Amino acid sequence: MGEPAPVRLYNTFTRTKETLVPATPGIVRMYSCGPTVYRYVHVGNLRTFMLPDLLSRTLEYLGYEIERVMNITDVGHLTDDTFDRGEDKMLVSARLEKKSPEEIAAFYTEAFMHDAASVNIRPAAHYPRASDYVPQMIELITKLIEKGHAYEVGGTIYYDIASFTAYGKLSRNTTDKLLAGARGEVDPRKRHPGDFTLWKAAGAHRLQVWPSPWGPGFPGWHIECSAMSMSLLGARFDIHTGGADNVFPHHEAEIAQSEGVTGHRVVSLWLHAGLLMLAGSRMAKSAGNFFRIRELEDQGFDPLAFRYLALQAKYRTKLNFSEDGLAGADRALRNLRERLQEWSAESSETAGDSDAAAAFEARFRSAIADDLDLPAAMALVSELTRSAIARPDKATLLRRWDRVLGLDLDRSVPDLELPAGAANLLEARERARDAKDFARADQLRDELAAAGVVVTDTPEGQRWKVQVGKQRDRTSRPGPAPTTP
Ligand SMILES: [Zn+2]
């Protein structure tokens, strides 16, 4: 393979698509904000973690090498608000589950790895744990104090946002909005209500406490990512990803910290995954409206149907999640696998070499190189399946594209089991047809359809097919809990 192909990516910082220019030619260094491991991830989180996976698959496909880091937040502080209330979510979990913070973190880290693997998110090269980088965080905070970007009050260190003129640039937040972001009880010792915590003096009730030059305490959430990203990828790296909800305050703070210490731009491109919406609200653990991938699997969905669904939307737009949408994705995925199985039976040595195949390949590459336009890539998949090009060519292209899509298109499709009672209905319908009682036969066909079994009549008798995602009992699962904004 020759030169890597040019790739354009939407940079949240500049609000434009920019050409990726790796600091080291051909090698892309990428940092992604990972899970907080005091709870399970939901499919909204998985959509966010799919972005670095899709990005690295795309870049590899186009000829780049990737070095990817995703952190594990096992020091459980989410926002300044929770700080101010003295509440640490890791410790809340530890209390509720009667385990140590380390046991909680290990348990949910493993659950995260499992859930990510089930939607074909390939592992990063490094998964640093925040608790292993506290000395590096203390070093950064010390430098920020030296450079006049941070100040101490009673063992707690705040970042002085007024000292960093670019503060607010990533999120396009004005001073008013920054003020509005500082809700709840604000420490009156702060110079500006928007100043965020770098280090928090420990209260007596805490379990995770580290010594520091300012006394015992624990790090803020934002400093974790500055420390881990620069420790592992250096003071200049190419891509940083996260969810749209990380732009402010998390990434705004990270820029202020990392650039405050180094005095230069650290991250070239900031990429953010759009939120996953459920019934009009953001899918969120705190609001109680969320699904785990395991729950969807238990309902009979292929976890990769969720990946298929995610590929239908631009990674940075909001995506509405619904069970009907997921069921449609599940059927489409199954269909695609069935087609590939048929075409593979006719494979030939020269497959993929035709001009028509080359044209499809070129269009696929330009779609993914244009800010990961996966909806366009998926539209090409549909166009390819309907096209007149040779079936072995179709099979070769689909298999190759699946390196980016990650849908396991080569997986063989097992026949679905008949739902309970359907076999009796099918038998009864056969008898009704034999007796030429077509009204009864039609009625039974409707009953079977309602149970997710599609019946067609052929000269050889009736044929049936179970539809994925239709055979589930929709009344057995409680709906999402009411949400709060
Ligand atoms: Zn982060």
Instruction: Give the chain's domains with CATH numbers.
Output: 8-273 (3.40.50.620), 293-405 (no CATH), 422-466 (no CATH)
- Judge contact between 201 and 280, C-beta under 8 A: no
Q: What local confidence, expressed as pLDDT, does residue 330 receive?
A: 95
Lowest mean pLDDT among 267-271, 468-472, 476-480: 476-480
CA–CA separation, 122 and 406 (whole Å): 9
**From ligand 1's centre to the CA of 399, what distance in Å?**
34
Give the pair of three-digit tokens for residue 106: 């290990």
Ligand 1 center to 193 CA (angstroms): 22
Ligand 1 center–CA 214 separation, angstroms:
24
- CA–centroid distance, 28 to ligand 1, in Å, is 18
Strands (E) in 202-355, as ranges, are 217-219, 237-243, 267-273, 276-278, 281-282, 319-321
- Please give the distance, rounded to the nearest whole angstrom, from the Cα atom of residue 247 to the centre of ligand 1: 10
140-169 tens-digit pLDDT = 999 999 999 999 999 999 999 999 999 999
Q: Answer with the residue of higher pLDDT: 21 or 181.
A: 21
Residue type, 458: T
CA of 397 to the centre of ligand 1 (A): 37
- Our CA dihedral for 250, 256, 260, 264, rounded to 10 degrees, sits at 100
Residue 54 to residues 11, 315, 434: CA-CA distances in angstroms?
16, 9, 54
Region of poorest pLDDT, from 140-144, 351-355, 394-398: 351-355
CA of 15 to the centre of ligand 1 (A): 20
Distance (Å) from CA 294 to ligand 1 centroid: 25
- Which pair of tokens denotes residue 474? 């929709």
Ligand 1 centroid distance, CA of 223 (Å): 8
Question: How many whole angstroms from 107 Cα to the centroid of ligand 1?
Answer: 21
The C-alpha angle with vertex 375 and arms to 45 and 13, in degrees rounded to 5, equals 60
Buried b (16+ CB within 10 A) or exposed e, 270-300: bbbbbbbbbeebbbbeebebbbbbeebeebb
Q: Please check the confidence at residue 180 and state whether its pLDDT lies above 60.
A: no
Give the residue, 474 or 308, on which the prediction is more confident. Answer: 308
What pLDDT sits at residue 157?
A: 96
* pLDDT at position 471 over 90: no
Q: Sorting pLDDT into bands at 50, 70 and 90, what band is 413?
A: confident
Tell me the whole-structure pTM to 2 decimals: 0.84
Distance (angstroms) between ligand 1 centre and the Cα of 32 equals: 7
Contact 70, 116 (CB under 8 A): no
CA of 434 to the centre of ligand 1 (A): 67
Amino acid, res. 353 = D
Both structure tokens of 192: 């500006």
344 closest CA partner among 414, 416, 409: 409
**459 pLDDT tier (thresholds 50, 70, 90):** confident
As given in the structure block, the two tokens for residue 479 are: 């709906």
Q: Residue 224 Cα, ligand 1 centroid: separation in angstroms? A: 7
How is the chain split among helix, strand and coil, in percent rounded to 5?
A: 45, 15, 40
Distance 436 CA to ligand 1 centre (A): 68
345 CA from centroid of ligand 1 (Å): 47
